[in-house]
Amino acid sequence: MIAPSILSADFARLADEARAVDGADWLHVDVMDGHFVPNLTLGLPVVKSLLDSTDIPVDCHLMIDDPDRWAIGYAEAGAHNVTVHVEAALEPVKLAANLRAAGAKAGLSVKPNTPLEPYLDLLRHYDTLLVMSVEPGFGGQSFIPEVLEKVRTARRLVDSGELRVLVEIDGGINAETIEQAAEAGVDMFVAGSAIYAADDPARAMEALRASAVRAAGKGGDKER
């Protein structure tokens, strides 16, 4: 599944940019506050406008301080999936329950240098695991292949029935890296410039999807 990231889109034409990727599984929205990460993007008012402009399920990735306070608003506004960072959430189990109660799926993200193992029990309360394959804060960065070991760990636990999460990856995904990520066991691929820098974003998105499907098939015993 593919989630185009509007971080690489034209912010002056977000409704048009959403229509340009009709057929996407999710539409990925990076919310940055200039504190948790050294960049400032957009917030809840823009997300609400985007929700009114598209039928694509909106995937909000909150790179913010104090998500325990702010994340619920995105769920209440109608976001399909709301992801918070394990490095920022103070009461992640309670937050996951509140997000679900507000009507959204609950996602948990880990930075590239954050180990996954200490949070495996915590993931039992979440619907989505977002593995960051770049340092959060800016688009256009190079893929960090070492994070794929976290993907493989999560995939094994999902396939064995010990976890029930969708495995998502974000950062540096393009025609080359999507194959590595698919072979490791990713379900949902966030891609920004690889889609929105193309002359035809929808065609670029479907090309990425086809590459992921082919690569996932090489895994043999992996079932999605």
**Is residue 23 within 8 Å of residue 202, measured between CB atoms?**
yes
Strands (E), the chain: 2-4, 27-32, 58-63, 81-85, 105-110, 128-132, 166-170, 188-191
Question: Which of 30, 33, 127, 187 is the catalytic position?
Answer: 30
Q: Among residues 25, 127, 170, 187, which one is catalytic?
A: 170
Eight-class DSSP state of 118? G
Classify 143 as helix, strand or coil. Answer: coil
30 part of the active site: yes
Does residue 108 sit in helix, strand or coil?
strand
Q: Does the annotation mark 170 as catalytic? A: yes
- Are 175 and 211 a contacting pair, CB within 8 Å? yes
Structure tokens belonging to residue 184: 């490791």
What amino acid positions are annotated as catalytic residues? 30, 170
